[in-house]
Structure 1
Amino acid sequence: MTFILKMAWRDSRASRKRLLLFSLSVVLGIAALVAIGSFTVNLKQAIDDQAKGLLGADLVVSSRAEFSAPVLEHLAALGGERSRTREFSSMLVFQSANDATRLVQVRAVEANFPFFGDFETAPA
């Protein structure tokens, strides 16, 4: 083993700067992969820990079209509390800002929502 190391060291004499650059590149690449992997795991864990509060419920069933009667019956058979929401996009006009407009998403929610957590509005 020592012979191999001696030969490698002798071969690297001509280009030690390149060897150092290559070694640093490998070390930085591995460090970046570990950091990104750790960040991903921590982010997933934080989302899982706060999922009920973020979602406001245990389960969300959504569709672009109205649910058919059999689907509604099946959902009712599951039991538990339910709350319906409607969402749509619209334009909002700010009369105080020279009729400036903004695209907004409007969400209408039944009174018993959210099942977990609280709604906070500003101004209250």
Structure 2
Amino acid sequence: MWPPLRSAAEKNLAQTLRFILVGASNTIFYFLTANALHYVLGVERDISSYVSYGLVLPLSFLGHRKFTFRSSSPPLSEWLRFCVMQALCLCIIGGVNAAANSYPAFPTWLSFAAISILIPALSFVIMQLWVFAARRPRR
């Protein structure tokens, strides 16, 4: 393989593996927090889910910013883009669930599977191309 292509491929593979590692860590944190809120503190299931999702956002942002994408751009603008991306993801989740609810015979696990594939894939692309993309200084 041509050396510059090989170098780019290795960089993308390493970045993808870091993305998976940060994502898995976030998922574990979310799972443990949601269950603790619900089963230990008695918080309603939906509220536990959204609160845990909110709690994991700063950890996810920092993990992806520092470890996955190794960004040195201004953090506030990246945080705002990250939040916009998360809002888009929540809308997609709501849309998939609404569509699944319109078809009672549609298996719930299938909508969860679709979300579990679609959201991480979309997030990776959006983070790479927009949220943590290297910015050129304005002249």
TM-score (norm 2): 0.29
**Which is higher, the Rg of structure 1 or of structure 2?**
1
Higher strand share: 1
TM-score (norm 1): 0.32
Higher helix share: 2
